[in-house]
Amino acid sequence: MKVEKGVRIVVSGGASGLGRAVVERFAAAQARVVVLDLNEAAGRSLADTWGASLKFVCTDVTAEPSVDAAVRSAHDWLGGIDAVVNCAGIAPARRVLAKDGLMTTADYTRVIQINLIGTFCMCRAAADVMQHNTPDANGQRGVIINTASIAAFDGQIGQAAYSASKAGIVGMTLPLAREFARIGVRVMTIAPGLFRTPLFDTLPAKAVADLEASTPFPKRLGNPPEFAALVAHIIENPMLNGETIRLDGALRM
């Protein structure tokens, strides 16, 4: 499947960061894109920018009815869904034994709910509609791409909840790929390293420079279009299935 005019793609968390880069790459290729996000202002701004080729649907990935309704809306507007890219997530940093008290189970649960359960909720809804697509020459009916993090493998202090949520995404990649093989739907995950997203805009310049220096090569933060380029390649390469790809410049934290 080529990322080109007419391809039908849904991107969760597509209004900012890595998700936005994916949306912009596909929209520039004249694909038809539906953006799912809670940020209405950013989502509608994207829709205004790209016009008739892009639709925004306000979506809460932690709420199954919201996800199911959004995917149905996307399916109806696009006339089918060829690929779903899941980028919705949060990256809070908090120690379990913090100076201001213990991390609460509510804090932990919120991260799991958004990052892991939200991704699963999108996967189930996507596979449900993709199974009815007409298969291509390879028997493929669709592609699902999830976003984990190198924190799934190299979690740092303060990332107990975040690392667990991303490790869960990595852990369900192969089982989902094996299950969905029957319907011709591939499942892949990308585990990015340090990428220049809005999160880094809040950090001091020295902190950013130190993080850049920790990456072996290239010695800088990743750029979101590089993430989008890997997403495009995964969609176009039918042999990529059931795997997590680290995109991190050889960084081991």
CA 202 to chain centre: 22
Tell me the two tokens of residue 237: 């390469």
First CA to last CA distance, the chain:
35
Q: Which of 162, 180, 195, 227 is catalytic?
A: 162
**Rounded-to-10 torsion of CA 128, 131, 134, 135:** 140
Could you give the C-alpha distances from 21 to 117, 126, 128, 237, 238, in angstroms and in order? Answer: 23, 21, 26, 20, 22
Cβ atoms of 30 and 4 within 8 Å: the answer is: yes
SS3 145: strand
Burial class (CB in 10 A: 0-12, 13-18, 19+), 4: exposed
Pick from 114, 62, 65, 87: nearest CA to 10: 87
- What lies within 8 Å, CB to CB, of 203 at 6+ separation is 211
Could you confirm whether 108 is annotated as catalytic? no
Please list the active-site residues.
162
